[in-house]
Amino acid sequence: MKAVQLVAPSAPLELRDLPDPTPGPDEVVVRVAGCGVCHTDIGFWQDGVPTRKPLPLTLGHEISGEVVEAGRDFSHLRGAEVIVPAVIPCGTCDLCEKGRGNVCKAQLMPGNDMDGGFADFIKVPGRGLCVVEDRGGLELAELSVVADAVTTPYQAVVRSGLHHGGLAVVVGVGGVGTHCVQIAAALGGHVVAIDVDSKRLEAVKGYGPSLTLDASALSFKEIRAAIRQAASEWGCPDHSWTIFECSGHPAGQATAFGLVTHASTLLVVGFTLAKVEVRLSNLMAFDATVQGSWGCKPELYPPALEMVTSGKISLKPFIETHPLSRGPHILEEVAQHRIERRAILVPDPAN
For residue 216, the tally of other CB atoms under 10 A from its CB is 10
**Hey, what CATH class is 2-148+296-346 in?**
alpha beta
Q: What pLDDT shows up at residue 301?
A: 98
* Model confidence pLDDT, tens digit, residues 192-242: 999 999 999 999 999 999 999 999 999 999 999 999 999 999 999 999 999
User: Residues 341, 174: contact at Cβ < 8 Å?
Assistant: no
Q: What pLDDT shows up at residue 129?
A: 97
Answer yes or no: is pLDDT of 351 > 60: no
What distance lies between CA 127 and its chain's CA centroid?
20
* Model confidence pLDDT, tens digit, residues 276-293: 999 999 999 999 999 999
Residue 305 pLDDT level (bands cut at 50, 70, 90): very high
Instruction: Domain ranges for the chain, please list them.
Output: 2-148+296-346, 151-292
* Model confidence pLDDT, tens digit, residues 127-157: 999 999 999 999 999 999 999 999 999 999 9
Answer yes or no: is pLDDT of 273 > 90: no
Q: What are phi and psi of 231, to 5 degrees?
A: -60, -40
Answer yes or no: is pLDDT of 350 > 90: no
Euclidean distance between CA atoms 49 and 214, whole angstroms: 29
Packed helices 151-160 and 176-186: angle between N→C axes, nearest 10 degrees: 40
Whole-number average pLDDT of the chain: 96
Answer yes or no: is pLDDT of 14 > 60: yes
Q: Are strands 57-58 and 209-214 parallel, antiparallel or unpaired?
A: unpaired
User: Can you tell me the mean pLDDT for 63-83?
Assistant: 97
Cβ-based burial of 289 (10 A; exposed 0-12, middle 13-18, buried ≥19): middle
Q: What pLDDT shows up at residue 268?
A: 97
Q: What is the pTM of this model?
A: 0.95
**Hey, what CATH class is 151-292 in?**
alpha beta
